[in-house]
């Protein structure tokens, strides 16, 4: 999920390891060679190359790996408007998805299993998706295999360039008589990966059912499918036998036929984490051949943030993308797998910084979407407006100071008022994150993940480290502090604006270098034959077999894999296992409450002997 990004920096990029006049070694320490000079940049290539859509995947089904992970964005979680988890970004879910990959109920702006069928302003089968395995979900859906990820955003934000289609999409509509509206009584089975669905069966046919829980007996209403479909999608419209984890949804806009942003408003917080743990357990067994114990995981999904009073909803979402009703000019959120807009007077999971702007009271006629970003580390707020083609921007009157940007028909940013970035605070630093750049949506996510990575890697003075898919430099900065001036950190990121931000954020560190390219393209060209530590935080599609193979050949003593999709993580852990690496620790964090998304940090070591 093309923008107005600065040209690729030339000349010096980053700094060398040791300060001038220093040898780079301590007394008694054996001198070690520095990593070589900056490699030549490969010629720019077309990143998109979309092909026709193939048959859709079912929730929980995994596409065969398609080689290197798709480039582009990752996804966010929570209440996005056009199938993006919160307007572009990495991990996450809810009314929006992002990084494509894998099977499962995908969200319009990128979740799903690769491929791009039709570009929609929000949702619809075949909206922009990524390559590889995994899934996202939310309001709207994007499904399909093959191709690289487009309008996705890395765990929340980067929109790749608009694709030049290489073939007309082929939408496959199952034959048979429609079953939409049919009602069945079913016993609900286990939770499925992606989309907050559970599995049920009726007369031998599989149903993927939302708004229910394992073990319940419910009346479902079919929302998609025909008599010839491989599976049906449905909503639980009446609960006959409720689960002990069921509660009344606190949000009035949650439920069958309403907002698609949250998957599990009807589930207790503990029940939500239990479901996420079941999904991770299943994916580890299915794709990596690992039990929780073999993966170094205690089976829990850790809550993040303090305990809330009964009935209160965590306001964790610092970015929200609203859709605009073309008739009324009111803001709303997309319904699940639909272009329809659910009008809302507030989003219960939006952060206080988002909620206090009162955007729902404005008239947004002339726009198709309004994205709001409220920094968790400063008072910075940014509105990103997408006008309807041919329409003028409306007058924005708010009581709070806010910067404003608009997006043109080619997805380029144009700043209308204020700064082009927000300032965030994490890991002891202030970070500049430009429009469309990636930053975790949950206010406590950056520090939570940095702490988990550092605890698992235990970086030592003088070590060398790689930070792959480094974004604006969060992990690179933390590693640089630990390895010191005798060590070195190389970060690789494909988004040009994120690289500009990372170089700005880490300019004071002489032992960090940031390179702009795809990981799978640049890593083999660096000339690096070994390293001590690796952090990788790939898009939802995961790293892929080729990148894993190359990393295993570097003989790192430890690797930290940060993942927003359990299927992609499990698949890549299987690849690492083939190359002699095993997980010694795995932690899962509930960074996207009310949605099916969560984040993992796996620590891998080479198998001894």
pLDDT digits (tens, 9 = 90+) for 407-428: 998 889 999 999 999 999 999 9
Please state at what angle helix 445-457 crosses helix 474-483, rounded to 10 degrees.
40
Half-sphere exposure at residue 586, Cβ-oriented, CA atoms within 13 angstroms: 24
What's the number of domains the chain is made of? 3
The Cα 158–Cα 485 span in angstroms is 32
Give the phi and the psi of residue 308 in degrees, each rounded to 5.
-95, 155
State which residues of the chain have pLDDT below 70.
1-174, 609
Answer for the pair 547, 521: CB distance below 8 angstroms, yes or no. Answer: no
Same domain, 470 and 597: yes
Residues 583 and 527 in one domain: yes
Residue 107 within any structural domain of the chain? no
Residue 119 lies in a domain: no
Give tens-digit pLDDT for 159-190: 444 444 444 455 565 689 999 999 999 999 99
Q: Which residue has the tokens 């409306």?
A: 394
**C-alpha to C-alpha distance for 117 and 144, rounded to whole angstroms:** 7
Q: Are residues 490 and 575 in the same domain?
A: yes
Distance CA 155, CA 257 (A): 26
Q: For residue 30, is it within any domain? A: no
337 and 324, same structural domain? yes
Report the alpha-carbon distance of residue 512 to residue 515 in Å, rounded: 10
3-state secondary structure of 350: strand
Q: What confidence score (pLDDT) does residue 67 get?
A: 38
Instruction: Specify whether 600 is catalytic.
Output: no
Q: Indicate if 540 and 440 belong to the same structural domain.
A: yes
Query: Is residue 564 domain-resident?
Result: yes
Q: Quick one: pLDDT at residue 65?
A: 39
> What CATH number is associated with residue 482?
3.40.50.150
Domain residues for the domain of 451 are 424-606
pLDDT at 122: 35
Query: Which of 219, 247, 275 corresponds to the end of one domain?
Result: 247
Q: Verify that 380 and 428 share a domain, yes or no.
A: no
| CATH number of domain containing 193 | 2.40.50.140
User: How many other CB atoms are found less than 10 A from the CB of residue 461?
Assistant: 12
Helices and strands per DSSP (H, E), number in the chain: 8, 22
Q: Is residue 94 part of a domain?
A: no
Structure tokens at 323: 């859709």
Q: At 577, is the secondary structure helix, strand, or coil?
A: helix
Torsion of CA 331, 332, 338, 340, to 10 degrees: -60
Predicted structure pTM score: 0.75
Query: In angstroms, rounded to a whole number, what is the distance separating the alpha carbons of residues 2 and 411?
Result: 5
From residue 601, how far is each of 456, 587, 609 by CA, in Å? Answer: 9, 5, 25
Contact 604, 169 (CB under 8 A): no
pLDDT of residue 28: 41
Q: Beta strands 558-563 and 512-516: pairing type? A: unpaired
Co-location of 432 and 487 in the same domain: yes
pLDDT tens track for 360-401: 989 999 999 999 999 999 999 999 999 999 898 998 889 899
Asked if 563 contacts 542 with a C-beta cutoff of 8 angstroms, the reply is yes
The whole-number pLDDT of residue 173 equals 59
Q: Note whether residue 465 is domain-resident.
A: yes
Task: Tell me how crowded residue 377 is: count the other CB atoms within 10 A of its CB.
Answer: 18
Domain termination site, one of 208, 225, 247:
247
What pLDDT, on a 0 to 100 scale, did the predictor assign at position 80? 41
233 and 186 share one domain:
yes
Which strands form 331-334's sheet, in the order they lie side by side?
Answer: 341-343, 331-334, 319-324, 367-374, 381-387, 403-407, 413-417
| Domain termination residue (choose one: 247, 274, 295) | 247
Q: Are residues 582 and 495 in the same domain?
A: yes
Q: What is the pLDDT of residue 175?
A: 82
Rg (CA), the chain: 23
CATH number reported for the structural domain that contains residue 330 in this entry: 2.40.50.1070
The pLDDT of residue 410: 87
* Same domain (yes/no): 591, 480: yes
523 in the same domain as 393: no
Q: Is the domain of 415 the same as that of 468?
A: no
Answer yes or no: is 361 within a domain.
yes
Asked, for residue 295, whether it belongs to a domain, the answer is no
| Active-site position among 262, 470, 564, 600 | 564
Report pLDDT for 273.
98
């Amino acid at each position: 999920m093309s923008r107005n990004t600065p040209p690729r920096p030339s000349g010096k990029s980053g700094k060398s390891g040791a300060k001038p006049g220093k040898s780079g070694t301590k007394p008694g320490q054996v001198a070690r060679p520095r990593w070589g000079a900056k490699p030549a940049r490969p010629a720019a290539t077309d990143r998109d190359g979309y092909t026709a859509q193939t048959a859709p995947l079912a929730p929980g089904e995994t596409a065969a790996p398609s080689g290197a992970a798709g480039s582009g964005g990752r996804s966010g979680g929570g209440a996005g408007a056009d199938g993006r988890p919160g307007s572009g970004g990495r991990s996450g879910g809810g009314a929006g998805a992002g990084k494509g990959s894998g099977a499962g109920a995908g969200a319009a702006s990128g979740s799903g299993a690769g491929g791009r069928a039709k570009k929609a302003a929000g949702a619809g089968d075949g909206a922009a998706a990524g390559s590889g395995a995994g899934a996202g979900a939310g309001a709207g859906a994007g499904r399909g295999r093959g191709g690289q990820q487009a309008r996705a955003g890395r765990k929340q934000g980067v929109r790749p360039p608009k694709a030049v289609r290489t073939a007309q999409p082929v939408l496959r509509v199952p034959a048979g008589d429609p079953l939409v509206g049919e009602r069945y009584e079913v016993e609900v089975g286990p939770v499925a990966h992606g989309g907050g669905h559970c599995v049920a069966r009726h007369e031998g046919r599989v149903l993927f059912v939302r708004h229910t829980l394992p073990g319940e007996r419910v009346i479902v209403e079919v929302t998609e499918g025909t008599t010839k479909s491989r599976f049906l999608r449905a909503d639980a419209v009446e609960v006959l036998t409720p689960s002990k984890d069921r509660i009344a949804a606190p949000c009035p806009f949650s439920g069958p036929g309403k907002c698609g942003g949250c998957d599990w408003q009807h589930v207790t917080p503990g029940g939500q984490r239990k479901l996420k743990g079941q999904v991770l357990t299943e994916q580890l067994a299915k794709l990596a051949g690992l039990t929780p114990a073999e993966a170094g995981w205690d089976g829990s999904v850790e809550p993040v943030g303090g305990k809330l009073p009964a009935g209160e909803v965590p306001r964790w979402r610092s970015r929200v993308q609203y859709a605009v009703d073309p008739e009324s000019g009111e803001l709303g959120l997309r319904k699940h797998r639909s272009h329809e807009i659910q009008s809302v007077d507030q989003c219960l999971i939006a952060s206080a910084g988002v909620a206090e702007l009162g955007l729902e009271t404005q008239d947004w006629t002339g726009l198709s979407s309004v994205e709001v970003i409220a920094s968790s580390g400063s008072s910075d707020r940014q509105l990103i407006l997408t006008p309807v083609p041919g329409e003028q921007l409306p007058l924005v009157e708010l009581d709070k100071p806010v910067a404003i940007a608009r997006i043109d028909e080619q997805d380029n940013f144009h700043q209308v008022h204020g700064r082009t970035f927000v300032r965030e605070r994490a890991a002891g630093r202030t970070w500049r994150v430009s429009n469309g750049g990636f930053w975790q949506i949950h206010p406590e996510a950056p520090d939570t993940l940095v702490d988990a990575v550092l605890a698992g890697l235990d970086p030592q003075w003088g070590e060398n480290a790689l930070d792959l898919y480094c974004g604006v430099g969060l992990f690179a900065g933390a590693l640089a502090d630990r390895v010191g001036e005798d060590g070195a950190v190389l970060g690789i990121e494909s988004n040009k604006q994120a690289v500009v931000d990372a170089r700005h954020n880490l300019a004071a560190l002489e032992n960090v270098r940031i390179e702009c390219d795809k990981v799978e393209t640049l890593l083999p060209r660096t000339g690096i034959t070994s390293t001590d530590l690796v952090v990788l935080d790939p898009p939802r599609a995961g790293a892929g077999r080729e990148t894993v193979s190359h990393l295993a050949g570097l003989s790192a003593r430890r690797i930290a894999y940060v993942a927003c999709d359990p299927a992609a993580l499990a698949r890549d852990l299987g690849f690492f296992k083939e190359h002699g690496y095993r997980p010694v620790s795995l932690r899962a964090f509930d960074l996207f409450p009310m949605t099916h998304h969560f984040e993992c940090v796996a620590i891998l070591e080479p198998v001894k002997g």
